[in-house]
Structure 1
């Protein structure tokens, strides 16, 4: 499959480009970026071509991997799908439900496959754990926490990007938490409460369609010594905790690319496709609205 990369930022440089260049079933056709000089440098590093115009790249590939801010991603994903390209998207798909909905409509109209890169869903230990807990059932409550230190590191993190500073933990690490909770506990019927804590920390209470509830704690300003992700489920069989994965982000993206290839070949919707990405976006938008209202709880 000929694949192009949209984006030249830290994630594109550290993960996307190396994976696309070494994947045995992919032909890394080229790179487009909003900074032509960065696209040229990244392309040279991996023996591929830099494209000055995004539509020229879309015309030369079967699929695109996107490593761009979500508001930019949504618009370009629509253009890519309309050009007949399968989509390997980053999370969140967009920062508005309308933006994510446009991606879903474009993918459905063009009948292209889509996979959203929620890292935890593609690492072997955590993916197997999620599948096992979903099959087990009987969970009545859960707590998930994703504590990042992007804006707490002394020397600055390469991921301290403008969109993360603007949108905060809800939109950056919130998708990771939801990608674990939704398959196990069911869809979110409503965001029952949302409150702000210290620094940029946010606390959410979610009411799931299967009758379970969950709480979520999110931050991008945690001290490095306190950062990390954890999920605990409580139910009929006791407590189950999300295992610590041993794989890397590159391992996860390789598996996501494998699953995009399979979805494109078989024509089957992937569990983490653009439609799932839309649902995550809708839930996060509800949480953001609740935080912005200052109400702290839904009516």
Structure 2
């Protein structure tokens, strides 16, 4: 499967590019970025070609892997689908429900497969945990905390990300929390009854109801001190208490390789992946509903 890589930032350099160059079932056809000089540099590192024209890259590809801010990703994903390219997208799919639905509708019209890279769903330990807990059922409540020090003093390549500073942890890591809670608890219902509140920095707390009858609470932040950082999820129900295992996989490349496998399987079988763009669009709808109650992050 010939992939085009859209994006040249830290995530593309750390994850998408190395994984696509390594995967035995993928060929990295080329790189496009909003800064041609960055695209040229990354293409040289990966042993492929830089494209100045994104349309030319789409014409040379079977699929695209996108590592761009959501408001840049969404229209390019629509364009890629219309060009017949399968979609390996980052989360969130878009920063508005309308933008996310446009991508989902374009993929459906074009008949292309899609996978959204929710990292914990493709990491081996955490992905298996989610699948097993969903099969068990009987959960009555869940909790997910994603407390990151990206803006709280950590040395992170993502600290300079304008869209993360503008939209905050809700939009960056809120998708991860939802991707872990929704398979075992069910879709979120009654979006108009969501309760949410802001804490210090970009912290957001919110409470959800799920179609199984269960409830969940989520706290996300990128502004906690490094000593307070934690990623955790806990489910409680008839099976007892289940705690999300720590994920490592040596970093994000291994999970991304599995996401490539998932996209190839969806193409070959015609069966949509559980993390397809429709699921990604639903996550965007939920995040928008939370933000409507909590209010937007104050840009730094």
Same fold by TM-score greater than 0.5: yes
Q: CA RMSD in A?
A: 1.1
The whole-number CA distance in structure 2 between the counterparts of 1:205 and 1:160 is 30
* Per-residue CA distance 1:152-174 (angstroms, 9 max, x = gap): 12555434300001101110000
Aligned 8 A contact 2:152 2:222 in 1: yes
* Per-residue CA distance 1:3-26 (angstroms, 9 max, x = gap): 010000000011111111111001
Give 2:125's aligned residue: 125
The whole-number CA distance in structure 1 between the counterparts of 2:55 and 2:176 is 31
The whole-number CA distance in structure 2 between the counterparts of 1:40 and 1:179 is 34
Q: Tell me which of 204, 207, 210 is aligned to 1:205.
A: 207
The whole-number CA distance in structure 1 between the counterparts of 2:154 and 2:231 is 21
* Per-residue CA distance 1:228-258 (angstroms, 9 max, x = gap): 2100111112110001123121010000001
Alignment of 1:22-171 (within 5 A): 22-153=22-153, 155=155, 157-171=157-171
Post-superposition shift, 1:292? 2.2
Q: Tell me which of 283, 290, 298 is aligned to 1:287.
A: 290
The whole-number CA distance in structure 2 between the counterparts of 1:54 and 1:228 is 38
* Per-residue CA distance 1:45-91 (angstroms, 9 max, x = gap): 11100000000000000000000000000000000000000000000
* Per-residue CA distance 1:243-286 (angstroms, 9 max, x = gap): 11231210100000011011111111110000000000000000
Unaligned 5+ segments in structure 1 are 294-299
Give 2:12's aligned residue: 12
Give 2:272's aligned residue: 269
Alignment of 1:186-265 (within 5 A): 186-191=186-191, 192-247=194-249, 248-265=251-268
The whole-number CA distance in structure 2 between the counterparts of 1:250 and 1:168 is 24
Q: How many residues align?
A: 293
The whole-number CA distance in structure 2 between the counterparts of 1:156 and 1:271 is 30
Give 1:296's aligned residue: none
* Per-residue CA distance 1:84-118 (angstroms, 9 max, x = gap): 00000000000000000000111001100000000
The whole-number CA distance in structure 1 between the counterparts of 2:227 and 2:109 is 47
Aligned 8 A contact 2:10 2:157 in 1: no
TM-score by length of 1: 0.96
